[in-house]
Structures are given as structure tokens and as C-alpha cells.
Structure 1
Amino acid sequence: MGIRITLSAMRSVVALLTTLLVCSACGPAQGASGSSVVRSAVAGANAPGADVPETLAAATAAAQANIDRFTAGDFAGVWEHMEDSVREGITQKDFVTFYDTCKKTGAPISVRGMRLQPQDEAIVLMKVSGVERSRIMVYEGGVWNMQATEGFASHLGEPVADIIAKEEAAGLCSR
């Protein structure tokens, strides 16, 4: 009888340890409260069939990843993670030309989530040099993409040389 109890107790301990080992390998879920880890699901956010959660944490992580691309000067990567209407309204080549001509990179930008909105939108706040500005992230095709600013969206469909000339005339080119 003592051997049966010991064998049964050992089986229980092995089952418990196996469960703990499996659970610890999983880690927290993407977007789980308290997690500061940005998972790679955001890095390939425009991949067809991507399974990115429709949460504020996922929208914030996608925004931070896109802003990090901008800060690094990866404007082609930024274009890939803009909303569909941007990618339909300006070619990647023209987008890169515009950003190479008019935008300054380098300063770190932090992003924090503000709130989820109806109709697949999230508001995030971007902070650079102590100044915060809001941006909208849109959930389309199972991924979070950045919405163009109102000013930039108004130029979509125009030749890139015209966009640059207007931005320069308005004093908005920072290079």
C-alpha cells in the first residue's frame, strides 16, 4: 500500500511539473495587461491572413513599430503599414521620395494607447521632445495600420513634386 501511495504521489508531482513547464513556456498573451513585450505579429502586420488582435495594446504596438521604422528612416516600411487609402493614393517610391525630401528622422518617439474607437479605430498618442500628438490607427484586413494625417491625406493622388512644393511653400519640409 505504501508503494502505491508513493507511486501515485510521484505521478501527481510529474503531472504538476509538466503543466508548469508547458505554461511557463507560453508566456503572457499578446496584448495582455502588464506585458511590455512587442510580439512579432506586429512586425509583419500587413501579411495576408495575419492574426493581430483587435485590442488597444495591439494597435499601440503596431503604431510604435511603424514610428520606429520612421525614426530609422525606413520610409518604404512605413508606407507598407499605412492605411489602404494611402497605399492606393501614392506609390511606395513617391512616398519614400516625399519623406526623404521633407521629413527629419532620428528623434525617439514614444507611443501610448489612448482608447479604442467604434468602426475599427484606435487613438494613440505619440510623444516627441515632450510634445504629444494623437494619431489614428485603423484595423483593416486583420491588422492595424496608421491613418494619414488630414493634411497628408488631402494630397493623395497628386504628383509627388507638387506635394513637395506645397509642403516647402507652407514651411512643412523639415530637412
Structure 2
Amino acid sequence: MTHNHPIRRLGALALIATATLAVSSACTGDDEAPAGNPAQAAAGGPEAKNIEGAKQAAQTVFDRFAGGDFAGAWDMYTAAGKQAISKDDYVKLNQACSRKGLAIQLTSARMEGADRAVVIAKQLVAAQSYTMVYEGDAWKLEPAKEGLALYKQGAAKAIAAQKKAGTCANQ
């Protein structure tokens, strides 16, 4: 029996997406960057505390992740996410087990209270929900419970666990 069965690979993709992050924003067609974008927050201003701000931040996380900028994606995690795994371990884990280069597209989003948004993102045919939390004047990705549990193992054990489960894309 092979571990490269297409269904297993889709399951691995979904697990990797859940354990990693990524969120997306809708295109506006405007030539100017909308208020509340991540660049504005980096310039010292707060991001817009609305669904558009959450979507833009989510897309930025997804773009960083899909492009292989795992350190940049980790930078957009909540404080709890950053406490669960160091930036170095997060980068090692994702360099070893994540697929790079596959675009992650935001398909829908909704607010859940004043400081939380739920976004749905799709990579290939797998869709996953993600939670964005407004923390410190910016939208941050809140890792799923499964991701936090994986991260708390550290890079070496998390890589081994993903390889054992057949969810490490680069095995």
C-alpha cells in the first residue's frame, strides 16, 4: 500500500493548511491601497477593524505562506501562536513539510464579534476555515487547536509526526 494515494495527499494538504496558516483578501480593483492594509499597520497606523481589514491581513498571511515566506507568515500569528512555536521551529517545520507555490484563495469571510473574523480559504480543492483576531491594532492569524498541538512538539517532533501520519508534503 502506498502513502501517495491522491485522497491521502488531499488530506495531507488539508492538515498542512490547518496546521500552518493562511488567509486571503479580495481584490478591490482600486489603484490605491485601501485603508487598514498590512502596509499601513507596518507604517505605524492601526489596521481597519472590519471585515475588509481582516480579509486583507488573511490574504497577506496566505500569500507569505504560499510563497515560502514562513518567517513572514509567523510574524502575523497571534501571541498564543507565537508562544506555541518559535519562529525558527516554524520555518524548519514548514520548509520540511509544506507545499510552496500553491496559491491560497480567500473564498468568504464573516465577522464574529468586534475583534474576530472567520475566513474560508481554498488551496486546490481543499477548503479550510481560519480565525483572524484583532490584537494590538492588527489582524493576526489564530492557529487551529490541531496546529497549536503540533507546534508545541517543536520542529523535530512535529516533522516526525507529520511524516508518520503521511502529511509531510516533502517526504
Q: TM-score normalised by the shorter chain: which range applies? A: 0.7 to 0.9
Give the Cα separation in 2 of the matches to 1:162 and 1:79. Answer: 19
Matched with 2:112 is 117
Change (3 A) 1:158 1:50: farther
Matched with 1:154 is 149
The alignment-based identity, stated in percent, is 27
Farther-moved stretch of structure 1 (111-120 vs 53-62): 111-120
Give the Cα separation in 1 of the matches to 2:48 and 2:167. Answer: 35
- Contact 1:114–1:123 (CA<8 Å) still a contact in 2? yes
Q: Which runs of 4+ in 1 moved over 6 A?
A: none
- Contact 1:52–1:142 (CA<8 Å) still a contact in 2? yes
Give the Cα separation in 2 of the matches to 1:120 and 1:95. Answer: 25
- Contact 1:42–1:62 (CA<8 Å) still a contact in 2? yes
Give the Cα separation in 2 of the matches to 1:125 and 1:56. Answer: 13
Matched with 2:94 is 99
Change (3 A) 1:82 1:173: same
Change (3 A) 1:94 1:46: farther
Change (3 A) 1:142 1:36: farther
Partner SS state of residue 130, structure 2: strand
1:53 equivalent among 12, 33, 48? 48
In our comparison, the structure showing a higher alpha carbon Rg is 1
Matched with 1:166 is 161
List runs of 5+ in structure 2 lacking aligned partners. Answer: 1-26
2:140 equivalent to 1:140: no
- Contact 2:35–2:48 (CA<8 Å) still a contact in 1? no
**When the two structures are superposed, what TM-score results if normalisation uses the length of structure 2?**
0.73
Change (3 A) 1:104 1:168: same
Give the Cα separation in 2 of the matches to 1:141 and 1:123. Answer: 18
Give the Cα separation in 2 of the matches to 1:109 and 1:57. Answer: 17
Give the Cα separation in 1 of the matches to 2:153 and 2:141. Answer: 20
Change (3 A) 1:154 1:46: farther
Give the Cα separation in 2 of the matches to 1:164 and 1:45. Answer: 35
List runs of 5+ in structure 1 lacking aligned partners. Answer: 1-33
Cα offset for 1:103? 0.4
Give the Cα separation in 2 of the matches to 1:89 and 1:97. Answer: 14
**When the two structures are superposed, what TM-score results if normalisation uses the length of structure 1?**
0.72
> For residues 59-90 of structure 1, what are the alpha-carbon distances to aligned partners after superposition, in whole Å with 9 as ceiling and x for unaligned?
01100011000111000000000111111221
Give the Cα separation in 1 of the matches to 2:43 and 2:65. Answer: 23
Matched with 2:76 is 81
Q: Report which structure shows greater RCO (CA 8 Å, sep ≥6).
A: 2
> For residues 117-158 of structure 1, what are the alpha-carbon distances to aligned partners after superposition, in whole Å with 9 as ceiling and x for unaligned?
126210111012233221111111111011112211113432
